[in-house]
Amino acid sequence: MHRLIFYELDKIWRKRSFILSICVLMIINLFLLWYINTPELKGTTEENYIDELYEEQQKVAGYKEYLRSVQESKDNLSSISIFKKQGQNDYAARNIEKSAKDYSGLSGKNIRWMPSKSLKISMESVWTDLLLILSVLLFSGNLIFAEKDKKLFYITRSTKNGRLQSGIAKIAALFVHCTIITILFYGMNLIYAEITIGFGDLTADIQSVAIYMESNLQISILEYIIYSVLTKGFVFFATGTVIMAFCIFADRIVLPYVTAFLLYGISYIAYLTIPAVEKWSVFKYINLIGILETQKLYGSYLNFNIGGYPVSRLVLTRSIIIDLAISGITLSILLFVYGRNFELVKSRSKHKKHFHPHISLLYHEGYKIMITNRAVVVILLFAILIGWQIIGKEYNPSAQEQYYRDIMLQLEGKMTDEKEALIISEQEKYDKAFSEIERIDNMTANGKISENAADGLKAELYAVTFFYPAFERVQHQYQRICENGGSFIYDTGYLYLFGLKNNDLLINLFLLSLCVVAAFGNVIPMEYQCGVWYLLGATKAGKKKIIYRKAAVCIMVVMGLSIIPVICRFINISKVYPMHGAGAAITDIPYFEQLPPALSIRAFIILLILAQMGALIVVAAGTLVISYWRKNHIQSVFFSILVFVVPLILKISGIGFAGWFSVFPLYSWTTLIGA
């Protein structure tokens, strides 16, 4: 049997296409780890990071008090007479009793605090799980459809081990693949986290990590990692057995993949939409997405109300996983032994269709590029990645920024007597506070009061003057309006939009350039690969007109693609930093007060969009030129990446001057002008 299992594994793993697919998935996983987490790490200031670590350390330091509170809840329950009578029939009472029992074995002796960020980055990646599901789809599909396509099942089923043993070997091969590939991907995550952040003492209890402090399990951090990886691997195996059953049953290659994506999509919707506190909350967690969140399975504590009795999430989840695996295995074996669909049905039209040539050459070339060349798939994937990352980015205004936002939203627009009175009253408040601080300092210098007493008196005054730097920004706009006219405007949102604060334009351009190269690198070579150019050159339209139409299609697509980051950034930024007064002059924003006053903010945004479109058009045009020069898909992509993407990577890595050898100055021209 072991030879048969090895054979089933070997015939898939040795395929170059399969190896290449897995390598691509691993590269994507590593890229997403860097792309999603590196900006977060770079954007975290030292002060905020220390505060976060301090809060985690304080939480873990109070772990014994947390355990004591759980037991006190039980003692308080026992002391209330009404619960003594009715507690046996009440879920809340049973849940408290069960919680106290589950936590009773914990003591907190092996608690040694460890920061949580490394584990969050390495073990809580939704993208890694999605990529692993894709790898299971690839393996299951290759395992069954490759033999169906060649009609080999009719031969293998007639052999001695062709039915039951062969089916078991395929299931065993799937188990081995799921286990190894899960260890491989999450091993990559752990190595990345160790290199970028580092781990602490992995032999400490799991409760040493603040975000997992609610766990009632007596396991170490290392054991948590092992259990999580093995659990995920078994979940992928259980899911894979169901997919394999669909592969055996289906006579069309698309059915199992559609089923798998529907399963994942329905699970995702259920996880997002079902409230966590409703009676149906069990279905929020007992689905593919909820089960794969092993950090909550082993790192938190939750009981479900099943018929008035508390049932552990861990116990119920394990039962669901085992039941799913048994169902998938049983169904796969039954279909393999008794099934009849052992070849793929080729789609054939019942009616003979006449060929209708495309009337529009532009439409024809667009169809070839977007559909035949699958550029639409690449563009959609990158568009979702870019949009999801931008929309998911959080903005946390400081206390000073909140003060500045509140006062500027009151002042927005033209100067009025009421607005001027507000500014004057604020100025008087700060003048009074500074004057009082100066008076206390003089009293201290003259020996009238001690320094400790002076510090106590000045504490409340410092709480007032803390916001003065933000008020100075208000003063700057007030003085400009008094001298040159204009309007008040809350400018922080526009500064983010134009890349002057927390500039993420470089990352956006990097992804967009990579998307354009991947989507259009084969536009010209695709004609040479089939020898079509020899025919097209003799047509009425000729090669030149066809190339022009190809370029037109690429330019139109690129123009639409370039707008996506602008729209997503505007929506996400404006939720925290409102952007009003787009009709005002660009000079009303202090950073741009040296520009021509006739230019409005709205016109400035349009110029930004046009410049970003122009930058991507340059990338697309350059890619087409390179592809026409090389006439080979791989070489075209390679040289295009070398010209348009590598300089951006170097700039991201800290080599600033490399950006001048790219289209980045055009894409981010708003950061090069102004104050």
Question: For residue 183, which amino acid is it?
Answer: I
CA distances from 640 to 13, 516, 622, 632, 645 (A): 31, 10, 7, 12, 7
Q: Which two tokens stand for residue 39?
A: 């900006």
Instruction: Say if residue 145's pLDDT is above 60.
Output: yes
Q: CA 131, CA 612: separation in Å to the nearest integer?
A: 31
CA distances from 49 to 112, 190, 194, 292, 576 (A): 19, 21, 18, 28, 22
Q: Which two tokens stand for residue 185?
A: 């991907």
Question: What average pLDDT does range 310-323 have in this prediction?
Answer: 89
Q: Which residues pair with 413 in a beta bridge?
A: 488
Phi/psi of residue 305, each to 5°? Answer: -85, 95
Share of the chain above pLDDT 90, in %: 31
Identify which has the larger pLDDT, 261 or 47.
261
**pLDDT digits over 528-572, tens only?**
766 666 665 555 556 778 888 889 999 999 999 999 999 999 999
Instruction: Say if residue 509's pLDDT is above 90.
Output: yes
> Dihedral sign, CA of 661, 667, 669, 671?
negative
Short-list 543, 476, 521, 477, CA closest to 633 = 521
Instruction: Say if residue 675's pLDDT is above 60.
Output: no
Identify which has the larger pLDDT, 231 or 362.
231
Question: What average pLDDT does range 568-578 have in this prediction?
Answer: 92
Q: CA 672, CA 408: separation in Å to the nearest integer?
A: 26
Identify which has the larger pLDDT, 515 or 388.
515
Q: CA 582, CA 600: separation in Å to the nearest integer?
A: 7
Q: pLDDT band for position 250 (50/70/90)?
A: confident
**pLDDT digits over 101-123, tens only?**
888 878 778 888 888 888 888 99
532's enclosing H/E stretch is none
Res 208: pLDDT? 86
Q: What is the mean pLDDT of the chain?
A: 83
Instruction: Say if residue 448's pLDDT is above 60.
Output: yes
Residue extents of the structural domains in the chain: 2-46+110-338, 361-395+492-672, 415-484
**pLDDT digits over 262-285, tens only?**
777 788 777 777 776 666 778 878
Q: CA 397, CA 19: separation in Å to the nearest integer?
A: 46
**pLDDT digits over 31-52, tens only?**
888 877 765 444 444 557 677 7
Q: pLDDT band for position 154 (50/70/90)?
A: low
Question: What average pLDDT does range 183-189 have in this prediction?
Answer: 94
Query: How many CB atoms within 10 Å of residue 620?
Result: 26
Res 351: pLDDT? 45
Q: pLDDT band for position 151 (50/70/90)?
A: low
Q: Does the global pTM surpass 0.75?
A: no
Instruction: Say if residue 492's pLDDT is above 70.
Output: yes
Res 226: pLDDT? 94
Instruction: Say if residue 358's pLDDT is above 60.
Output: no
Question: What average pLDDT does range 625-652 have in this prediction?
Answer: 86
Q: Is 581 left (phi over 0), alpha (psi -120 to 50) or beta?
A: left
